[in-house]
Amino acid sequence: MNFLEIFRSSILSLRANKVRTFLTMLGVIIGVFAVLSLVSLVRGVQNFVTDQFSALGSNLILVAPGRVGFDQDPGLAFANNKLTAENVDRINRDASQYIIGATPNMRLGKTIQYKTKRYLASLVGTNSNFLSITDLEIDYGRAFTKEEEITDAKVLVLGPDVKNELFGNRNPIGEKVKVGDTYMEVIGVLTSKGFNADERVIAPYTTLQKVFNTKNISGITIKAKDSDSIDKAMTEIEIALLQDLKDDEFTVLSQKDILSSIQSILSILSVGIGSVAAISLIVGGIGIMNIMLVSVTERIREIGLRKALGATSMTIGIQFLLESIMISIVGGSIGIFLGFAAAFAAQSFVRAEVPLWAVLLSFLFSVLTGVIFGTYPAIQASKKEPIEALRYE
């Protein structure tokens, strides 16, 4: 019997038990689907983070309070926050050769209210340089001035999402909105940048310090002149900050460093999650072995008959092995299809994508599952003596 005929016999046997074949396949389908959908979801999160970072601007350097590292409690770092606006002034002075500008950064989650409408926005305090440092642009109206920064003017610039939510199509310029207990005037609206950048509301940090009675800032954002200046700028910033702070009271990070460490964490996470999901593939494989062993017993007379009619042990073994491999290949393919479908469905939330390595790996793994877990039943089937098999009741 040539290989093609054994292949046809396997297909006929699988088709003769459609429901059982499908149920056996289900383990592999779910396994491959789980691997692909989880990996693509993590990939989506990775894309999201990258997009977020790119939306911040380019050639950025960030100063965070405390020592940032895996051995430090980030909560503690913020609690002992020593960063102040004076540090920003010093950076602007001392590192001016390599930087475009530095701005304090304050972040507060606050409800903005206009008449009866409320919106929980990310309230960001910066100085009047923020347009040149971040990639933000004014759609209409204007940004606040140095003057307004110094005088703690109660003005703010709305992100497009905030504006749409509170004002709809109306022009908000000149309107007063309530932030906490304070009324502030809307002077501008930002151009849409996508993602949560659009949910921001920007105000002078001096105003926020006064209104919310806080002196500290959450961090400092600095834009280097170009990518070649980043390293030199970071050194200068560090030297400037050391004049007022101890070296464990701040950390200077480049945007690139942060992004690459997040990327590497997410990559490890994606492999980790993929591996956990791969366990379900092993369970699926055990399912295949189970059913194939039952099938060997159930079809023992068929095995005897085939042998009586001229099948060799090898032919019988290959037929059974092919049956389990086909279950795993078809199951794997359906799983891949569903994985792509899930990634597509998730598009509205994150930019999920199915990486090629995950497709190839999970397919290979599912085929291997069929081979590994199909071998034992196939050997069992091939070893049946024709007489024993024909006598079996």
Tell me which stretch binds other proteins (CB under 8 A): 8-16, 72-80, 289-297, 337-345.
Answer: 8-16
Binding map of other proteins across residues 58-87, x = CB under 8 A, - = no contact: ------------------------------
**Nearest of 186, 214, 52 to residue 112 by alpha carbon:** 186
Enclosing H/E stretch for 10 = helix 3-16
For residue 36 the two structure tokens come to: 């692909």
Q: Does the protein bind other proteins through residue 301 (CB under 8 A)?
A: yes
Q: Is 5 in the site for other proteins (CB under 8 A)?
A: yes
Task: Decide if residue 193 touches other proteins (CB under 8 A).
Answer: no
Residue 315 binds to other proteins (criterion: CB under 8 A): yes
Interface with other proteins includes 311 (CB under 8 A)? yes
Q: What is d(CA 96, CA 233) in angstroms, rounded to the nearest whole number?
A: 9
The site map against other proteins for 352-391 (x = CB under 8 A) is: ---------------------------------xxx--x-
Q: Please identify, using beta-carbon distances, which residue of 176 and 391 lies nearer to other proteins.
A: 391
- Helix axis angle for 356-383 and 313-345, nearest 10°, is 150
Residue 201: burial class (beta carbons within 10 Å; 0-12, 13-18, 19+): buried
Beta bridge partners of 62: 221, 253
For other proteins, which residue of 11, 16, 242, 265 counts as binding (CB under 8 A)? 16
- Residue 320 CB, shortest distance to other proteins, in Å, is 15
Please select the residue that binds other proteins; options are 58, 113, 122, 313, rule is CB under 8 A.
313
Candidates 105-113, 196-204, 275-283, 300-308: pick the segment binding other proteins (CB under 8 A).
Answer: 300-308
Burial 105-122 (b: 16+ CB within 10 A, else e): bbebebebebeeeebebb
Q: C-beta of 296: minimal distance to other proteins in Å?
A: 15
314 lies in the binding site for other proteins (CB under 8 A) = yes
Smallest gap from residue 309 Cβ to other proteins (A): 4
Distance CA 248, CA 77 (A): 9
Closest approach of other proteins to the CB of residue 355, in Å: 42
Size of interface with other proteins, in residues (CB under 8 A): 23
Q: Are strands 117-126 and 200-204 parallel, antiparallel or unpaired?
A: parallel
Would you say 18 or 215 has its CB closer to other proteins?
18
**Which positions ≥6 away from 222 have C-beta within 8 Å?**
60, 61, 62, 63, 91, 95, 99, 101, 102, 103, 133, 233, 237
Q: In the complex with other proteins, which residue's Cβ is closer, 13 or 209?
A: 13
Q: Put residue 113 in one of left, alpha, beta given phi > 0 → left and psi -120 to 50 → alpha.
A: beta
For other proteins, the binding residue among 129, 306, 354, 358 (CB under 8 A) is 306
Q: Tokens 């060799």, residue?
A: 312
- Of the two residues 101 and 304, which places its CB atom closer to other proteins in the complex? 304
Site residues (vs other proteins, CB under 8 A): 1, 5, 9, 12, 16, 301-302, 304-315, 385-387, 390
